[in-house]
Chains A and B, each alone.
Chain A
Amino acid sequence: MKNSILKFLLFKFSRPLILIVLIIVFTVFTDTFWAPDNWTNISNIILQQAPFSVLLATAMTMTIILNGFDLSIGASVAFISCVCGYILRATGNPVYAIIAGVGLGAVVGTMNGILVTKAKIPSFVSTYAMKWVLNGFALVLLGGKQIYNFGPKFRPLFISNKFTFFYIMVAVLVIVSLIMKYTVFGRQVYATGNNPEAARISGIKTDLVTLKIYLMGGMIVGLVAVMYIANLGTAEPNIGTDFPINAIAAALIGGTAIGGGSGSVGKAIFGAMIILTLQNGMVQIGVPSVWQQVIVGLVILLSIFMERGLNKLAVRYEE
């Protein structure tokens, strides 16, 4: 009995545990990852990298709850950041850029949503095709060049205070998790993800729910694109190729199950932090950066193994 309670706790808190173990391992084996008098690396992860990874993982998690994927997020970031770069160069007004970024994200998200709901194309095929189209548009806009010089107002708005990205992330996460947990819409999303047919029969407009989720995801991605060029200072059409796979790996290792109906903002946060810690720690230990893509692929495989293993454990516990 005691053994099974331990197993249950392990099951429930496995992700935080993985994160803690990773942090301890990297702290012990390297000098640069974390030390009481060396916070640069950790603050770099939390303030510079986490806002992007966590927000993208959240957008991905929302589509996975509905048993879909969004492979266009990388290309969306590339395309939207190029358009925003253009707008900033022409007007220099950050407000236009932010509105255009989030608005374009909403448009791309809606198009993905329409392809998934109305045309009923499997989401990984439609968003993958969308990725090529958006990448193409970004390349047509900039022709393989970079764009910079965004005017005097835009970048200081984001980087004058180093906590700005973090605050934006927290605000978005709070809004999304409130919507998912405490609104009728949020309940409808989980119902639709769990069993679309049953949800439809009980009166939920599943197509509309799906469309709204892709719309929300698109808006988050648009926001990330604006933050991205603010952070980098340049916009180029070739960024973001590894965003989708990192986001999927983050969502899945965070404990969001494929097949729909499960997943939350909290899981996305832990997943993204696990991936970030792993990638950062590997670099600190001295693994060449070319290995990163292999590691992310292995993490996805590992997480689907883990999901099945934990499910079996849960079934045994319930018995």
Chain B
Amino acid sequence: MNKLIVVLKKVPGLIWGSFLALVVFAILAPKFLNPLNLINILNNSSVLLIIASGMTIAILSGQLDISVGGIATLAAMTAGLYLHNVGDTSAINIILAFVIGILVGMAVGSLNGLLIGVYQYNYWLVTFSTMSISYGLSQVLTNGNIISGYSKMFRNIANHRFLGMPQLVWIALAVVIVIIFITYRTKFGMHIYAIGDSEQCAAQSGINVKRIRFSIFVIAGGLAGLGGVLLVSRTNSASPIIGFGYEFDAIAAVIIGGTPFSGGSGGVIGTIVGTVMLYAIKAGLQLVGFSVYVQQVFIGIFILSIIVVDVINQNRKKEKGSRRVYK
């Protein structure tokens, strides 16, 4: 029993707050707890979950990757264009499309990693400009047009049901489990946490900070690329704004899940909860009957207040810590 209380105390307050919001929705809109709605929430959150787990490792190391939305879009457009041109009825082409999408993501990610990790430019500016470049290139690829109408085989990758759930959910789960294993059980994962805690300490204890930072952005880019191609398969269309806003949602999901901006603590497990919470709240707002525009205001204010609470909490903790030192 005591153990349970300790575990419950570890759950970040933000998750409790979101949980409260869910209870309110469940009361206001009885349909909210319908299994179909719940499965739909999971299905909607899958792509964000994949992208947000990349964002989590970036934030764990104390940095941000704002280019993930742009990377997802660029990967979606390249893979979509490839499938459109070579035909999407053969399994090999579909696999190749996924490989291309992931490679595009990793390529942009390695540009980020090279500039930020190795040459130590400002992470925010670099990813902001690669975001703009990726969105721009996605426009260039098809002159701003949408490609739609893919074969059933390709659409089934995300939409086919397996054990009652869309395959997309299972794919997201598999990816997240791999990332959880990497962050909690490998040396690389430990190094990410160490760098996020204190880059200087990590460097002085012999961690190759440059290499780790480079790999972080490559992984985040690759995951965003995978997410982008899955989005095409799910929505049956590749549009140059398909990933628009994912960077913001991903940051929000990570922060709700209890990983602070300062890095070094938290983890991907929290992000899973954060992502599902975010989409549950979106679905709840919709079921209660708010228009799309009002939803955007609510979500924006919600995320902003979450960030404010999180940062104030962290600052208070930091102050407490320094007080202890100077006593």
Q: Which of B14-22, B23-31, B130-138 contacts A (4 or more CB under 8 A)?
A: B130-138
Q: Is the CB of B311 within 8 A of A294?
A: no
Q: Is the CB of A133 within 8 A of B137?
A: no
* A254 CB, min distance to chain B CBs, angstroms: 15
**Digit string of A284-317 for contact with B (CB within 8 Å is 1, else 0)?**
0000101111111110110010001000000000
Q: Is the CB of B293 within 8 A of A293?
A: no
* B299 CB, min distance to chain A CBs, angstroms: 7
In the complex, which residues of chain B have a beta carbon less than 8 angstroms from the beta carbon of A290?
136, 139-140, 143-144
Q: Is the CB of A293 within 8 A of B121?
A: no
In the complex, which residues of chain A have a beta carbon less than 8 angstroms from the beta carbon of B139?
290, 293
* A142 CB, min distance to chain B CBs, angstroms: 9
Which parts of A232-290 form the interface with B (CB within 8 Å)?
245, 248, 252, 258-259, 288, 290
Q: How far is the CA of A130 from the CA of B307 in the complex (A)?
A: 11
Q: Is A156 an interface residue (CB 8 A)?
A: no
Q: Is the CB of A245 within 8 A of B132?
A: yes
In the complex, which residues of chain A have a beta carbon less than 8 angstroms from the beta carbon of B122?
258-259, 304
| Contacting residue for A129 out of B292, B294, B300, CB 8 A | B300
Q: Is the CB of A133 within 8 A of B140?
A: no
Known contacts A133-B304, A300-B125, A301-B126; is-contact A293 B297 (Cβ 8 Å): no
Which parts of B119-168 form the interface with A (CB within 8 Å)?
121-122, 124-126, 128-133, 135-137, 139-140, 143-144
Q: Is the CB of A144 within 8 A of B125?
A: no
Q: How far is the CA of A224 from the CA of B137 in the complex (A)?
A: 29
Q: Is the CB of A136 within 8 A of B307?
A: no
Q: Is A8 an interface residue (CB 8 A)?
A: no
Q: How far is the CA of A183 from the CA of B291 in the complex (A)?
A: 49
Q: How far is the CA of A296 from the CA of B137 in the complex (A)?
A: 12
Q: How far is the CA of A259 from the CA of B261 in the complex (A)?
A: 19
Q: How far is the CA of A120 from the CA of B131 in the complex (A)?
A: 25
Q: Is B200 an interface residue (CB 8 A)?
A: no
Q: Is B184 an interface residue (CB 8 A)?
A: no
Q: How far is the CA of A190 from the CA of B183 in the complex (A)?
A: 42
Q: Is B182 an interface residue (CB 8 A)?
A: no
* A287 CB, min distance to chain B CBs, angstroms: 10
**Digit string of A143-159 for contact with B (CB within 8 Å is 1, else 0)?**
11000000000000000
| Contacting residue for A119 out of B144, B301, B311, CB 8 A | B311
| Contacting residue for A258 out of B125, B136, B297, B312, CB 8 A | B125
| Contacting residue for A133 out of B121, B126, B129, B300, CB 8 A | B300
Q: Is A28 an interface residue (CB 8 A)?
A: no
In the complex, which residues of chain B have a beta carbon less than 8 angstroms from the beta carbon of A300?
125, 128-129, 132
In the complex, which residues of chain A have a beta carbon less than 8 angstroms from the beta carbon of B291?
140, 143
* A262 CB, min distance to chain B CBs, angstroms: 14
Q: Is the CB of A137 within 8 A of B311?
A: no
Q: Is B248 an interface residue (CB 8 A)?
A: yes
* A83 CB, min distance to chain B CBs, angstroms: 14
In the complex, which residues of chain A have a beta carbon less than 8 angstroms from the beta carbon of B251?
125
**Digit string of B294-327 for contact with A (CB within 8 Å is 1, else 0)?**
1011111101100110011001000000000000
| Contacting residue for B125 out of A128, A136, A304, CB 8 A | A304
Q: How far is the CA of A290 from the CA of B143 in the complex (A)?
A: 7
| Contacting residue for A288 out of B115, B135, B143, B307, CB 8 A | B143
In the complex, which residues of chain B have a beta carbon less than 8 angstroms from the beta carbon of A167?
none
Q: Is A132 an interface residue (CB 8 A)?
A: yes
In the complex, which residues of chain B have a beta carbon less than 8 angstroms from the beta carbon of A297?
129-133, 136
Q: How far is the CA of A297 from the CA of B135 in the complex (A)?
A: 10
Q: How many A-B residue pairs have CB under 8 A?
A: 114
Q: How far is the CA of A115 from the CA of B305 in the complex (A)?
A: 10
In the complex, which residues of chain A have a beta carbon less than 8 angstroms from the beta carbon of B130?
297, 301
Known contacts A144-B293, A290-B143; is-contact A132 B248 (Cβ 8 Å): yes
* B231 CB, min distance to chain A CBs, angstroms: 20
Q: How far is the CA of A300 from the CA of B125 in the complex (A)?
A: 8
Q: Is the CB of A140 within 8 A of B143?
A: no
Q: How far is the CA of A252 from the CA of B129 in the complex (A)?
A: 12
Which parts of A150-178 form the interface with B (CB within 8 Å)?
none
* A305 CB, min distance to chain B CBs, angstroms: 8
In the complex, which residues of chain B have a beta carbon less than 8 angstroms from the beta carbon of A294?
132-133, 136-137, 140
In the complex, which residues of chain B have a beta carbon less than 8 angstroms from the beta carbon of A69?
124
In the complex, which residues of chain A have a beta carbon less than 8 angstroms from the beta carbon of B248?
128-129, 132
| Contacting residue for B304 out of A126, A144, A295, CB 8 A | A126
List the B residue with the shortest CB-CB distance to A244. Answer: B128
Known contacts A245-B128, A294-B140, A300-B132; is-contact A140 B293 (Cβ 8 Å): yes
Q: How far is the CA of A120 from the CA of B135 in the complex (A)?
A: 30
List the B residue with the shortest CB-CB distance to A298. Answer: B133
In the complex, which residues of chain A have a beta carbon less than 8 angstroms from the beta carbon of B301?
133
Q: Is A10 an interface residue (CB 8 A)?
A: no
Q: Is A135 an interface residue (CB 8 A)?
A: yes
Q: Is the CB of B307 within 8 A of A125?
A: yes
* A248 CB, min distance to chain B CBs, angstroms: 7
Q: How far is the CA of A124 from the CA of B139 in the complex (A)?
A: 25
| Contacting residue for A121 out of B115, B125, B292, B308, CB 8 A | B308
Can you list 25 pairs linking A and B with CB atoms under 8 Å apart? Answer: A115-B308, A119-B308, A119-B312, A120-B315, A121-B308, A124-B128, A132-B300, A133-B304, A136-B293, A139-B293, A140-B294, A144-B293, A245-B132, A252-B125, A258-B122, A290-B143, A291-B136, A293-B139, A297-B133, A300-B125, A300-B128, A301-B115, A301-B133, A304-B126, A308-B121
Chain A interfacial positions (CB closer than 8 Å to B): 69, 115, 119-122, 124-126, 128-130, 132-133, 135-137, 139-140, 143-144, 245, 248, 252, 258-259, 288, 290-298, 300-301, 304, 308
Chain B interfacial positions (CB closer than 8 Å to A): 64, 115, 121-122, 124-126, 128-133, 135-137, 139-140, 143-144, 245, 248, 251, 261, 291-294, 296-301, 303-304, 307-308, 311-312, 315
Closest 3 CB pairs of A and B: A293-B136, A294-B136, A136-B297
